[in-house]
Amino acid sequence: MPKRTTVVLEDDSYKKLVEESIRRFGTARAISKVINSMVEEATKHSGKQDELLKLLYSRKVAKTTAKDLEKDRRRLSMRLETRS
C-alpha cells in the first residue's frame, strides 16, 4: 500500500524531477512515479554493490605486483590504440 511522505528538494533537483516527469508521463504531476522508479532502480543495484564489496574484500586467489599490473595495462592500452 502506498505511503505518503514529504520530501524537501533543492530547486535544481525539483526542476529535474519535473522535467523527467513531463518527459516520461507527459505531466508534472507524476513526480511520485519518477521518484519511485528511481528508488526501485537504486535498490535493485544495491545487491550488486554488496557482491562487489564481498569480492573486493574476499581472500584473493591470484597475486600480482604493481610492476606486472602496469606492464599489462600498457600492453592493453597499446592494443586498444592500434584498433582505432
Tens of pLDDT along 21-60? 999 999 999 999 999 998 888 777 777 777 777 877 888 7
Q: Which three cell numbers stand for residue 7?
A: 520530501
Distance separating alpha carbons of residues 74 and 56, to the nearest angstrom: 23
Per-residue pLDDT, 52: 74
Cα separation, 8 vs 30, in Å, equals: 17
Strands (E), 1-84: none
Class of residue 27 by CB neighbours under 10 A (exposed 0-12, middle 13-18, buried 19+): exposed
The structure's pTM equals 0.53
